[in-house]
C-alpha cells in the first residue's frame, strides 16, 4: 500500500495494465489514505468513494478481458471544487452555491475520465477561488500536511494538500494569479500553469471571459513530474465551447536537453507592495540554476524595471479583460456594501470571508485609477511580455521564486496580500510555468521554484521539472505532522 501511494499516475496505469496491481487495490489504498489524513488537513470536502470502487471494479474487468486500455485506466484522482464533477458539490467555496450540485463534468474533468481516470472527490478552495489561503464559510480551513499550522496556498489548496499527503496521485487545478503554483510550492508537489488558452475552462466556476479566459487557466497537479505532460495533453485542445482556447503542439520533454542552454535567473521581482525574497528562496533558485547548468548551460541574470509595477499591471490587465468583477460575483450580480460586510465579519455574521471582502474592496479601489492610467498599465504589461519573450527566445528558461518565502502560518497572508504577484504577473503574460519542489527547508516545510519558458513551450518547463526531480528528489510524502 505504501508503494502505491508513492507512484505517479502513469506508473500506476502501467502497473494496472500489466496486472501487477488491480485498479481496486489502487483506489482502496488512496481512499484509506484520505480517510487517515483528511480529518487533520480538511482537503477533500466531498467524496464519492463507493462510486469510485464500483468504477475500479469495472476497470479491473476490462483488464482481465484484455481490452484496449486508455492511458489513465483505473487511476484515481481528485478535482478542485471550482470544476464541475457530475453529482458532486460545485460550490467554489461560496455560501450562495453551497447546495449547488454539478449536472455535467467540466471539459477537462470529462477528458480525464474518458482517459480512464477515476475521481475520488472534490477538494477545498478559498471563497470564489480568489485568495492564497484556502478556507471558506462552507467547508472551513485546509491545513498543510508538512505542518498543520501552515497554509496550503490557494486557490487549488485542497488539491495540493491531498496530493502532497499521498491521498491522490494527481489532480486538476486552475490558476489566475498563481492558484496552481503557490499551493504546489507550499505543499511540495509539481504543478503546471499552461500557456494561456491551452486547456478549456468550460465547466469551471467562476468562468473568465474575454482576454481573462487566457489568464485563468486549468492545469495538472501531481506528485511526479513525468505525469505533467501526459495529463496536459489529455486536457488540452479546443472543445468548441471555450472561445479562449488555442490549439498547441508540444514536443516531448525528453527531447529537451540542457547542454549549452541558456538559464535565466531572477532572484526577486522587486515589485511595489510585495516583500522581497528571503535567503532560503534565493538559495533554492541558485541550486536549481546550478543543477540545470551542470550539463554546460550558461546562467544569466534577468530582471526588468517594469516588474516594479507588477501588482498594478496584473490588476489592470485582468480588469480590462472584461467579465464580471469579483465584487459582482460575491454579490451575485451586484457588488455588496463592503463597509456593512466588514462590520458583519467583525461579529462573525457575514456570509463572506474577511479576505474576500478586502479583495473586492481593493479591486474597486484599483479600478478608480482612471482610464488613462489603466491604459498605461496594460501597455506596460504588453511591453513586459515582449521583453521577456525576447529574453527567452526559443531556447532559454527562466528560474524564479514562486513566492517570497516558504508556506506562511495561517492568516499571515492578510498582512502580505500582494505577495501572490511572484506568480500572478506570469498569468497576464500568458507564459507556461511549472512549480518544482526543491526539498524541505527550515521547519521541514517545502522549498521550491517556478520555471518559465516562451509562449507554447510548456514541454521545456516540464523537462526542467523532470530534470530537477531526478537531481533533487522531488516530492516526498510528509510524515512528521501526519503521524
Q: Per-residue pLDDT averaged across 6-16, rounded? A: 97
pLDDT of residue 481: 64
Q: Determine, yes or no, domain membership for 363.
A: no
DSSP tag of 3 = T
pLDDT of residue 341: 77
Nearest to 196 by CA among 212, 184, 214: 214
* Residue 123 in this model has a pLDDT that exceeds 70: yes
- Give the pLDDT confidence of 327-351 residue by residue, as tens digits: 888 877 777 777 777 778 777 878 8
- Give the pLDDT confidence of 355-384 residue by residue, as tens digits: 888 888 887 777 778 899 999 999 999 999
- pLDDT band for position 200 (cuts 50, 70, 90): very high
pLDDT of residue 357: 87
Q: Determine, yes or no, domain membership for 136.
A: yes
Nearest to 127 by CA among 324, 319, 327, 273: 327
Question: From the candidates 22, 80, 193, 481, which is the catalytic residue?
Answer: 80
Q: Determine, yes or no, domain membership for 217.
A: yes
Q: Give the orientation angle of helix 338-346 with respect to helix 354-366, to 10 degrees.
A: 160
What is the H or E stretch that residue 221 is in? strand 217-222
Question: From the candidates 22, 155, 156, 244, which is the catalytic residue?
Answer: 155
DSSP secondary structure letters along 162-213: HHHTTS-SEEEEEESSSTTHHHHHHHT-EEEEPSTTSS--TTBSSPP-TTHH
- pLDDT band for position 325 (cuts 50, 70, 90): confident
Whether 179 sits among the annotated catalytic residues: the reply is: yes
Under 8 Å between Cβ of 224 and 436:
no
Q: Determine, yes or no, domain membership for 201.
A: yes
> Mean pLDDT in the chain?
94
Which residues are 300's β-sheet partners?
Answer: 264
Grid cell 506528485 — which residue?
Answer: 223
Q: Per-residue pLDDT averaged across 180-199, rounded? A: 98
- Give the pLDDT confidence of 12-31 residue by residue, as tens digits: 999 999 999 999 999 999 99
Q: Determine, yes or no, domain membership for 317.
A: no
Q: Determine, yes or no, domain membership for 213.
A: yes
- Give the pLDDT confidence of 371-419 residue by residue, as tens digits: 999 999 999 999 999 999 999 999 999 999 999 999 999 999 999 999 9
Grid cell 489603466 — which residue?
Answer: 374
How far apart CA 449 and CA 182 sit, in angstroms, is 10
Q: Per-residue pLDDT averaged across 204-223, rounded? A: 94
Whether 155 sits among the annotated catalytic residues: the reply is: yes
Count of other CB atoms within 10 angstroms of residue 148: 13
- Give the pLDDT confidence of 268-277 residue by residue, as tens digits: 999 999 999 9
- Who contacts 84 (Cβ-Cβ below 8 Å, separation ≥6)? 90, 102, 103, 104, 105, 106, 109, 203, 204, 205
- pLDDT band for position 482 (cuts 50, 70, 90): low
435 by DSSP, 3-state: which? strand
Q: Spell out where 273-417 has E strands.
A: 298-301, 397-400
pLDDT of residue 171: 98
What is the H or E stretch that residue 423 is in? helix 421-428
* Residue 483 in this model has a pLDDT that exceeds 60: no
Q: Determine, yes or no, domain membership for 271.
A: yes
pLDDT of residue 12: 98
What CATH number does residue 224 fall under?
Answer: 3.90.1300.10
Q: Tell me how many domains the chain contains.
A: 1
Under 8 Å between Cβ of 130 and 142:
no
How far apart CA 77 and CA 59 sit, in angstroms, is 14
Task: Find the distance separating the first CA and the last CA of the chain, reported in whole Å.
Answer: 17
Question: From the candidates 168, 174, 179, 244, which is the catalytic residue?
Answer: 179
Which residues are 449's β-sheet partners?
Answer: 436
- Give the pLDDT confidence of 244-258 residue by residue, as tens digits: 999 999 999 999 999
Under 8 Å between Cβ of 253 and 229:
yes
pLDDT of residue 479: 76
pLDDT of residue 366: 76
Percent with pLDDT over 70 in the chain: 99
Angle of CA points 178, 478, 143, to nearest 5°: 50
> Which domain covers residue 218, as residue numbers?
9-311+375-482
- 350: phi then psi, degrees, rounded to nearest 5: -80, 145
Amino acid at each position: 500500500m505504501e508503494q502505491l501511494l508513492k507512484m505517479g499516475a502513469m506508473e500506476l496505469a502501467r502497473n494496472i495494465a500489466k496486472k501487477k496491481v488491480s485498479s481496486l487495490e489502487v483506489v482502496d489504498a488512496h481512499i484509506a489514505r484520505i480517510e487517515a489524513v483528511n480529518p487533520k488537513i480538511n482537503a477533500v470536502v466531498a467524496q464519492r468513494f463507493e462510486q469510485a470502487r464500483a468504477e475500479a471494479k469495472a476497470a479491473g474487468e476490462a483488464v482481465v478481458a484484455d481490452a484496449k486500455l486508455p492511458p489513465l485506466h483505473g487511476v484515481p484522482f481528485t478535482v478542485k471544487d471550482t470544476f464541475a464533477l457530475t453529482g458532486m458539490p460545485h460550490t467554489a467555496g461560496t455560501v450562495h452555491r453551497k447546495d449547488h450540485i454539478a449536472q455535467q463534468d467540466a471539459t477537462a474533468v470529462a477528458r480525464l475520465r474518458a482517459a480512464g481516470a477515476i475521481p475520488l472527490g472534490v477538494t477545498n478552495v478559498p471563497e470564489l477561488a480568489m485568495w492564497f489561503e484556502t478556507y471558506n464559510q462552507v467547508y472551513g480551513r485546509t491545513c498543510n500536511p508538512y505542518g498543520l499550522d501552515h497554509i496550503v496556498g490557494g486557490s487549488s489548496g485542497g488539491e495540493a494538500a491531498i496530493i502532497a499527503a499521498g491521498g491522490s496521485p494527481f489532480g486538476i487545478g486552475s490558476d489566475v494569479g498563481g492558484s496552481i503554483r503557490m499551493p504546489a510550492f507550499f505543499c511540495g508537489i509539481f504543478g503546471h500553469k499552461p500557456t494561456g488558452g491551452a486547456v478549456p475552462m468550460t465547466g469551471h466556476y467562476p468562468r473568465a471571459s474575454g482576454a481573462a479566459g487566457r489568464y485563468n487557466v486549468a492545469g495538472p497537479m501531481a506528485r511526479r513530474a513525468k505525469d505533467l505532460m501526459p495529463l496536459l495533453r489529455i486536457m488540452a485542445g479546443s472543445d468548441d465551447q471555450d472561445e479562449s482556447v488555442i490549439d498547441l503542439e508540444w514536443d516531448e520533454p525528453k527531447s529537451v536537453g540542457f547542454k549549452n542552454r541558456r538559464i535565466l535567473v531572477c532572484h526577486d521581482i522587486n515589485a511595489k507592495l510585495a516583500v522581497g525574497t528571503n535567503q532560503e528562496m534565493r538559495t533554492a533558485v541558485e541550486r536549481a540554476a546550478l543543477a540545470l547548468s551542470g550539463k554546460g548551460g550558461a546562467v544569466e541574470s534577468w530582471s526588468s524595471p517594469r516588474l516594479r509595477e507588477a501588482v498594478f499591471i496584473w490588476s489592470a490587465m485582468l480588469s480590462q479583460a472584461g467579465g464580471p468583477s469579483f465584487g459582482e460575483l460575491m454579490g451575485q450580480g451586484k457588488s455588496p456594501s463592503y463597509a456593512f460586510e466588514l462590520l458583519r465579519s467583525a461579529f462573525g455574521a457575514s456570509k463572506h470571508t474577511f479576505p474576500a471582502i478586502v479583495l473586492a474592496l481593493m479591486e474597486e479601489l484599483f479600478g478608480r485609477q482612471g482610464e488613462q492610467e489603466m491604459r498605461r498599465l496594460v501597455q506596460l504589461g504588453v511591453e513586459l511580455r515582449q521583453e521577456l519573450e525576447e529574453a527567452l527566445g526559443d531556447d532559454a528558461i527562466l528560474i524564479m521564486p514562486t513566492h517570497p518565502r516558504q508556506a506562511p502560518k495561517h492568516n499571515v497572508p492578510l498582512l502580505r496580500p500582494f505577495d501572490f504577484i511572484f506568480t500572478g504577473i506570469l498569468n497576464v503574460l500568458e507564459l507556461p510555468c511549472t512549480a518544482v519542489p526543491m526539498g524541505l527547508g527550515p521547519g521541514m516545510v517545502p522549498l521550491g521554484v517556478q520555471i518559465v519558458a516562451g509562449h507554447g513551450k510548456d514541454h521545456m518547463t516540464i523537462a526542467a521539472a523532470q530534470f530537477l526531480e531526478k537531481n533533487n528528489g522531488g516530492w516526498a510524502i510528509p510524515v512528521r505532522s501526519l503521524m
